[in-house]
Structure 1
Amino acid sequence: MATRGVTILRGSVQTLADTAARAESAGFHSAWTPEFYTRSSVVTLAAMAARTSDIRLGTSIAYASGRSPLMLATEARSLDELSGGRLVLGLGLGTKRMMEDWHGLPGDAPAVRMEELVPLLRRLWRLHEGPVKHAGRFYTLSVTPTAEVEEPLRTDIPVFTAGVSPRMIQTAGRVADGLLGHVLFSPAYVEQVVNPAIDEGRAKTGREDAPVEKVGIVITSIADDAEQARREVAAQIGFYCAPKSYATLLELSGFAGEGDAVRAAFAERDFAAMTAAVSDDMIDAIGVAGTADEVRAKLDALGDVYDHIVIYPPSFGLTGERCDELAEVLVAECGAGSGAAR
C-alpha cells in the first residue's frame, strides 16, 4: 500500500503549519506545501518544520526558475537543518508562460535546464569539500569559500522534479530521486506515458536501478453528500484544465473534448460552465470524491499506481470555511488509523 501525504494550496501560512501538525498526529507519512504567486513554499515549510518533529516535509513545488542555484541550495540546506533532515526538495519550472511572464526567463528547453540544475545543487551541498565552478548552458557559477564551510546536515537531500510531458518526466529518471506528478494525471497516463518515460530517463544516464519515487498529487474531497464532493473535485479539475499547456495530457487520457469545453468556458469567465464541462469519467479518473468510506477505498486502489499519494483538497470556488473544514476532515479520515500506510 502506498504511503500518504497531504498538501493544501489555500489558507494562511499558519493554516498549513496547523495541517502539517494534525497530519503528523494522524499518522501521515508527509506534508507538502505548494508555491504560487501568493505563497512561498520555503517560508511555509519553515513554519511547518517548527510545528512538527517526525513527518517528512516537501515542497510541491518550489520554483527553480525563480531562484539562482546558490540561493536554492542554501534555502534547501537551511530547511533540512531546521527540520532535522526531513526535507524533500520538490522542484518545478512551471509552464513556458510562467517562466517568461513571472520570472523573466526564456521558457525553452526546461528539461535540459532542470538536468543541469539538479547535479549543480548536489555539488553546492558539498561546498565544504572545495570550490564549485560551473559554466553551462543555463547557469554560470563560481563559488570559492573565503572561510571554513561547515558540512551540512545532509549532502544527499532528496530532490524530486515535476513533469507533465514525456521529456520532462524523463528528467526525474535521469537525475532525480522522485517524480512529482501533476494533479491531472490519470492512472492511464501514468501507465502509458509516465512509467516508460521514467525508465527511458534512467537508461539515458545509466541509472537503470536507481529508485525514482512516483508521487501522485490527487484532488480529493469528502462529504456526507457524495455529489457535493464530486462537484468540488470537478471545479478544481476545471481550474487546472484551463491552461492550454495541459491539452496534450488531457488528450492522451481521453479527455480532449472536456479540455476544449473547459478552456472555452474559462475564456468567458464562466466558472459554473467550467465545472459542468468536467465529466463523471474525468472525475473518477483524475480525482477522488465521495463519502469517507468511498474515498478511503479509492485512495487504497491508487496504491497500485503511485509509491506515495498526496491528498490535495480542492479550493477553487469554495469558501474559506469549507476549505478549512475539508482539510481537517481529510486528515482525520485518511490517516494511518483509517487505513493509510505509514
Structure 2
Amino acid sequence: MRLGLALGYWGRGPDPDHVALAREAERLGYDSVWTAEAWGSDAFTPLTWLAAHTSRIKLGTGIAQMAARTPAATAMHALTLDHLSGGRVMLGLGLSGPQVVEGWYGRPFPKSPLTATREYVADIRQVLRRERSRPYEGPDGTGLGKPLRSITHPLRADLPILLGAEGPRNIAQTTRIADGWMPLYWSPLRTGVYEASLADTPKDFVIAPMVRAKVCDDPAEGLLAVKAMLGFYIGGMGTRGRNFHADLMARMGYEEEARHIQALFLDGRKEEAVLAVPDAFADEISLVGPRERIAERLAAWRAGPVTDLLVTAPDRHTMRVLAELNS
C-alpha cells in the first residue's frame, strides 16, 4: 500500500508550509501529493507550484471538479502539467453535487450523472490520444465548430484518471471507465459496503481513499477534527432531500445518525451536529491515536483492497510515523 499526502484546498489563503510538506513527503518515500478545489482556490495551480519544487513524487488532483471546466480544458491542464513535471500527473475528477455545481459554477446539475461522467472522461481520453474533438451541435450554436486535435502532443495517452464516486452504480461505472477510484469515506471494517460495486475491478485498478491521520495521546481529542469535517459534509453539503455524503454514511450503517446530524446542521445547530457524529464512525474511517494504536489499525487497511492511502496529515511527526509503519 502506497502513501500519498493530501493537502486539500486553501482556506482563507495559501498555506506557506505546503511546499515544505510536499518535499518532506517526497523525502519520506510518499508516492504522491494531492491538491483539491471547492469554491476558492483551484487544484491545478498549487499542484504546478509543487511540481516545480519536487522531482519524483506523483502529482494528483484530489479532486478537480468537472463543472469547473470543459473536458477539453481539463485535458489541457493535465497534459500541460504532465509535460512540465516529467509525467507525474494523476488526474482525479469529481462531479460534486447540485449545491456546488448550481450554486458556485452557475450550471445545471446533470440529470444523468453517470452519463455526464462517462462522456466527460471519454472526451478527456480523446484529447490525450490526439483524436479529433467532438464539436458542439446544440440548437443555440453556429454550426461552424470544427473537429480539432491537440496541437501539443500529450506526454502520455494513458495518463491515469481517477474518479471520486459515492453511489453504488457510479462506483461500478468507475471500475469500467477509469484507472482508479477515490472513496470519500473508507472503513476497513465495512468493505462489504462496496463489494458489489467493485466485483469487476480490473488488474492494477487504484483504490485511494483519503484518511485523516494524527499521532496523539488521546484518540478522542484527535477525532475532533474528523468529526468537524463529517459534520460539515454530512450536514451542510446538500439539502434535506439530497445529500450524497449523508446517503453514504447511511449505507455504511449509520442512517439514523446521518439524518440526525443533517437535521441539526440545517437547523443552524452546527456545533451540536459535530458533536452528534458518532465517535465510532469517525474512528473507523481515520487513523488517530498513539503510535501503537495506529500501527494496529493500519494493518487492517493494508489487508484490504486499498492500494494508496492519501493522508491528510498536517504535521511532520505523523507523516514520519506512517512512513515508518508502512515500510
Q: Same fold (TM over 0.5)?
A: yes
In structure 1, how many angstroms separate the alpha carbons of the residues matched to 2:257 and 2:132? Answer: 52
Letter in 2 for 1:333: V
Deviation at 1:157, TM superposition (A): 0.5
Aligned residue for 2:209? 216
Match of residue 292 from structure 1 = 291
Measured after TM superposition, the shift of residue 61 of structure 1 is 0.4
Which consecutive residues of structure 2, in runs of 5 or more, have no partner in the other structure?
A: 238-242
Contact in 2 for aligned 1:6/1:310 (Cα 8 Å): yes
Q: Are 1:233 and 2:226 counterparts?
A: yes
Whole-angstrom CA distance in 1 between matches of 2:40 and 2:262: 24
What are the superposed Cα offsets for residues 147-199 of structure 1, whole Å, 9 maximum, x if unpaired? x93422111100001100012112211210000111x333355423x232133
1:106 alignment counterpart? 108
Partner AA of 1:72 in structure 2 = T
2:42 alignment partner in structure 1: 40
Q: Which amino acid aligns with 1:120?
A: D
Equivalent in 318, 321, 327 of residue 330 of structure 1: 318
Task: Compute the displacement of 1:53 (Å).
Answer: 0.8
Pairwise CA distance, 1:295: 2.2
Distance 2:227 2:187 in 1: 14
Alignment of 1:1-342 (within 5 A): 2-9=1-8, 11=10, 12=14, 14-107=16-109, 108-127=111-130, 131-133=132-134, 142-144=146-148, 149-182=151-184, 184-187=185-188, 190-192=191-193, 194-199=194-199, 209-242=202-235, 243=237, 244-305=243-304, 306-313=306-313, 326-335=314-323, 338-341=324-327
Distance in 1 of aligned mates of 2:7 and 2:318: 11
CA 1:222–1:234 in 2, change beyond 3 Å: closer, same or farther? farther
Letter in 1 for 2:196: P
* Alpha-carbon distance, 1:79 to partner: 1.1
* Cα offsets for 1:278-319 (capped at 9, x unmatched): 222212222221123322332332122311111124xxxxxx
Say if 2:65 and 2:96, in contact at 8 Å, map to a contact too. Answer: yes
Residues 269, 220 of structure 1: alpha-carbon distance in 2 compared, 3 angstrom cutoff: farther
| Aligned-partner Cα distance in 1 for 2:317–2:229 | 18
Find the aligned partners of 1:295 and 1:56 in 2 and give their Cα distance. Answer: 25
Normalised TM-score (structure 2): 0.86
> SS of 2:315's equivalent?
helix
Counterpart of 1:144 in structure 2: which amino acid? L
Task: Kindly state the Cα deviation for residue 261 of structure 1 after the two structures are TM-superposed.
Answer: 2.5
User: For the residues of structure 2 that align with 1:209 and 1:230, how far apart are their CA atoms?
Assistant: 34
Alpha-carbon offset, residue 134 of structure 1: 5.1
Cα pair 1:224 1:291 within 8 Å, conserved: yes
For 1:118 and 1:136, the matched residues in 2 are separated by 19
Go from structure 1 to structure 2 and tell me whether the alpha carbon gap of 1:283 and 1:124 turns closer, same or farther (over 3 Å shift). same
TM-score for both structures, normalised by structure 1: 0.83
Q: What secondary structure sits across from 1:253 in the alignment?
A: helix
Residue 198 to residue 134, structure 1, CA distance change in 2 (3 Å):
farther
Partner of 1:318: none
CA distance in 1, matches of 2:247, 2:53: 40
Q: Return closer, same or farther for 1:187/1:302 CA change in 2, 3 Å cut-off.
A: same
Secondary structure of the corresponding residue to residue 5 of structure 1:
strand
| Pair 1:172–1:10, CA change in 2 (3 A) | closer
Q: Secondary structure at the match of 1:32?
A: strand
> How far did residue 101 of structure 1 move?
1.8
Say whether the 8 Å CA contact 1:221–1:233 is kept in structure 2.
no
From the two aligned structures, give the one with the greater helix fraction. 1
Q: Percent identity?
A: 26
Secondary structure, in 3 states, of the residue corresponding to 1:90? strand
What is the distance in 1 between the residues matched to 2:22 and 2:2? 15
Paired AA for residue 310 in structure 1:
L
5+ residue gaps, structure 1: 203-207, 314-325
Structure 2 distance, partners of 1:39, 1:298, is: 34
Query: Judging changes above 3 Å, is the alpha-carbon distance between structure 1 residues 265 and 150 closer, same or farther for their aligned structure 2 residues?
Result: closer
